Amino acid sequence: MTASALKVADASADAAAADAARDARAEAAKQAAAEERTRNTAKKKPTKKVSDGWDRFLVDIWITDLNFTEFGLYKRTRNRAKSRQFTSDMDIFGEIIENGERTGLFGYREELWKKAQGMDKRLVFKLFTENLNWRATMDLMIGRSLQQTIGARGLPVMTYSINTDDDNYIIYLERSANKWPFMPENFSFFIIDNKGKPEFYRLKRDFINLGGDYSLIDQTGSTIGYIDGKVFSIGGKWKGRLRTGTDKRIMTVMKLFGAMMVFNGDCRRHMKRLYKGMLAGKIKPELDRQEADLYMNPRRVR
């Protein structure tokens, strides 16, 4: 082979090697970019939390009215515009925390509870979403509660009606009259499933508790939920947990029950005063129009 031919062969080999090197570098760069994208995607993809079989929530009751929902010029008027259920006397008093985020707010009708007297005094509080969309209402039924208290010969027996946005039925939560002094109290309620069958539940206060602890027991005697009151809290905190997969209406009842705990003692004393006042002739039985509507016969002639 001549010298010129060798030079041509060497040049061709160098060119082929350079092309191969460029292709190798391009392929390596492409692979590195793909791996980087994979790593970034893995970082951004949220890690799915492994369920332990319980759904949890926290009811946090505030001690002051100076909160983000109401504080500010014309804020109450704007809140009323967001929801017809947000009445002019509505006072936001607590929140629900789930998975570290606020998912709901509690408000009660302040004038009805703090300023009214006698049979006009009743507890009405509501559950809203973070954006103040109505979700549920819980009413202390004065007429029904007084009837039960009379039957229990003075032992306060409260009845609450619960109306939710996703149910065709009213849920009635009642304190049991079967209670001995210094023994734990019980509440009970039932819901109707989508087949029209009732399912019964009982909220039993723990025998040894400091912050107001209750266990939720279903009709088979199985414990499916808990509400644990925090002992050292300024306004009040109740941690709740419910078996995953339970009817979501049960979760709503649990949340409302937790918020009701801050009023529980006052409700008992209120019913006791009404009972004694009626026996003494000092209180004339009379029902609020809105409560009376809840007792109306749905099959009445209109």
Residue-by-residue pLDDT tens, the chain, 302 positions: 555 554 544 555 455 445 545 555 655 565 666 666 656 655 555 555 567 899 999 999 986 655 555 544 445 555 555 567 788 888 899 999 998 899 999 999 999 999 999 999 999 999 999 888 899 999 999 999 999 999 999 999 999 999 998 788 999 999 999 988 888 999 999 999 888 899 999 999 988 777 679 999 999 999 999 999 876 555 689 999 999 999 999 999 999 999 999 999 999 999 999 999 999 999 999 998 889 988 988 887 77
Helix 264-279 and helix 142-151, axial crossing angle in degrees, nearest 10: 70
3-state class of 253 per DSSP? helix
Q: CA of 236: how far to CAs of 142, 253, 258, 283, in Å?
A: 25, 18, 10, 33
pLDDT of residue 130: 87
CA 204/CA 175 separation, integer angstroms: 10
The answer to whether the beta carbons of residues 94 and 107 sit under 8 Å apart is no
pLDDT of residue 74: 43
Q: What is the CATH number of domain 54-294?
A: 3.20.90
CA 231/CA 156 separation, integer angstroms: 25
- Residues whose CB is less than 8 angstroms from the CB of residue 293 and which lie 6 or more positions away in sequence, other chains included: none
The answer to whether the beta carbons of residues 187 and 258 sit under 8 Å apart is no
pLDDT of residue 301: 75
pLDDT of residue 96: 95
Tokens 């049979």 — which residue? 119
The answer to whether the beta carbons of residues 177 and 148 sit under 8 Å apart is yes
pLDDT of residue 211: 67
Q: Which two tokens stand for residue 277?
A: 């006042």
CA 81/CA 98 separation, integer angstroms: 26
What is this structure's pTM? 0.77
The answer to whether the beta carbons of residues 79 and 132 sit under 8 Å apart is yes
Q: Which two tokens stand for residue 234?
A: 């300024």
pLDDT of residue 230: 79
Give the strand pairing for 186-192 and 223-229.
Answer: unpaired
Distance of CA 42 to the CA centre of its chain: 33
Q: Which two tokens stand for residue 64?
A: 């002051």
pLDDT of residue 39: 64
3-state class of 296 per DSSP? coil
pLDDT of residue 87: 82
Mapping DSSP onto H, E and C, the string for 100-117 reads: CEEEEEEEEEHHHHHHCC
The answer to whether the beta carbons of residues 106 and 92 sit under 8 Å apart is yes
Q: Is residue 251 packed enough to be buried (19+ CB in 10 Å), middle (13-18) or exposed (0-12)? A: middle
The answer to whether the beta carbons of residues 105 and 95 sit under 8 Å apart is yes
